[in-house]
Amino acid sequence: MFATHNYATCQRPRLRGLTLLAAVGFALATVLSGANESGQIRPATPMARAQADFVAAQKQYEADRTNNLATGEFARAAYERADFSTNDTERAALAVQGIAASRKLIARDPKSAPGHYYLGMNLGQMARTKLLGALRIVNEMEREFKTARELDERLDHAGPDRSLGLLYYEAPAFGSVGSRAKARKHLERAVELAPDFPRNRLCLAEAYVKWREKHLLKRELAALEKLWPEAKVRFPDADWPAWSRRWQKLKADALELQVR
């Protein structure tokens, strides 16, 4: 099934799939990472940072489940931690928690942009675990991203438009919501809203590669080349290893397409 980014509730679902080895690895990575400017230990890898963020957000959420900010942060942290899952069991368990928190937030505050946005993102994580049935989730994802966009289009560096664009880009056109025209509209809008956020331009450039739009791809590659060094300073906690792999793949694709 297509991936989302980027994308039944229960009272307190247990997080499965975190083995003793993973816990030890996380602890070691944390110790070796050093401290940040405030003196706090900063985990060394994106995965370790996502895990530490999830644990901290979960602690705050469980301390006060009626706090909207803590609920939204937990929904976000669950999605981001699930993005590093290596198996469907763990990814689904995290997605269930993120979905439950998002729904609780929306029930209390129907106009919560983070609530709608991270519901869509966590539904996307759930969809990634399903060989069958994921298409049924897509319509709800689309609806939640559209609502988040209406409430706050700049959330998460134009995340609602970026997520809608990726949904339309990756979903099948037949029997689902896939649409090149809609993907273009939202991916380009995300770049317009947050032009200095590398993920927006990476997503748009990857679409231009698939569509073989050489002139527009050249433009995005030049923009990425210019913003890349400063972006590493502005967004230090981003998943730079993954972004760098995508950046190198884009350069290779451009050579193959003879983009000059």
* In a shared domain, residues 119 and 33: yes
Let me know whether 133 and 210 are in one domain: no
Residue 153 lies in a domain: no
Residue 171, domain member (yes or no): no
In a domain, 128, yes or no: yes
Asked if 81 and 51 touch (Cβ cutoff 8 Å), the reply is yes
Q: Are 102 and 221 in a shared domain? A: no
Same domain, 144 and 200: no
Do 117 and 8 lie in one domain? The reply is yes
- Beta bridge partner(s), residue 35: 41
Exposed/middle/buried for 170, CB within 10 Å: 0-12, 13-18, 19+? buried
Q: Return averaged pLDDT per consecutive 10 residues of the chain, 260 residues in all.
A: 40 32 32 42 86 97 97 98 96 97 98 98 94 81 98 98 97 89 98 98 98 97 97 95 97 93
- 51 in the same domain as 139: yes
Q: What is the residue range of 257's domain? A: 196-260
Same domain, residue pair 52 and 128 = yes
- Closest by CA to 3, choosing from 123, 101, 149, 159, is 123
> Residue 130 sits in a domain of what CATH number?
1.25.40.10
Residue at a domain's end among 82, 113, 148: 148
Amino acid 44: pLDDT? 80
Q: Name the domain boundary from 88, 123, 148.
A: 148
Regarding whether 204 and 137 lie in a shared domain, the answer is no
Q: What burial class does residue 182 get, using C-beta atoms within 10 Å of its C-beta: 0-12 exposed, 13-18 middle, 19+ buried?
A: middle
Which of the listed residues 113, 148, 183 is the one where a domain comes to its end?
Answer: 148
One domain for residues 6 and 132: yes
Quote the pLDDT of residue 192. 98
Is 177 within a domain? no
Say if residue 2 is in the same domain as residue 59: yes
Residue 160 domain-assigned?
A: no
pLDDT of residue 41: 66
Pinpoint the alpha helices (H) of the chain: 20-33, 46-63, 68-82, 88-108, 113-128, 134-151, 155-170, 180-193, 198-211, 214-234, 240-256
Q: How far apart are CA 256 and CA 258, in angstroms?
A: 5
What is the reported pLDDT for 19? 32
pLDDT, residue 158, reads: 98
- Number of CB atoms found within 10 A of residue 155's CB: 18
pLDDT score at 4: 44
- Kindly state whether residue 174 falls inside one of the protein's structural domains: no
Encoded tokens for 52:
């530490």
Domains in the chain, number: 2
CA dihedral 145, 135, 253, 79 (to 10 degrees): 50
Q: Residue 19 falls within a domain, yes or no?
A: yes
Residue 215 and residue 144 share a domain: no
Considering the domain architecture, whether residues 101 and 31 belong to the same structural domain is answered as: yes
Residue 155 lies in a domain: no
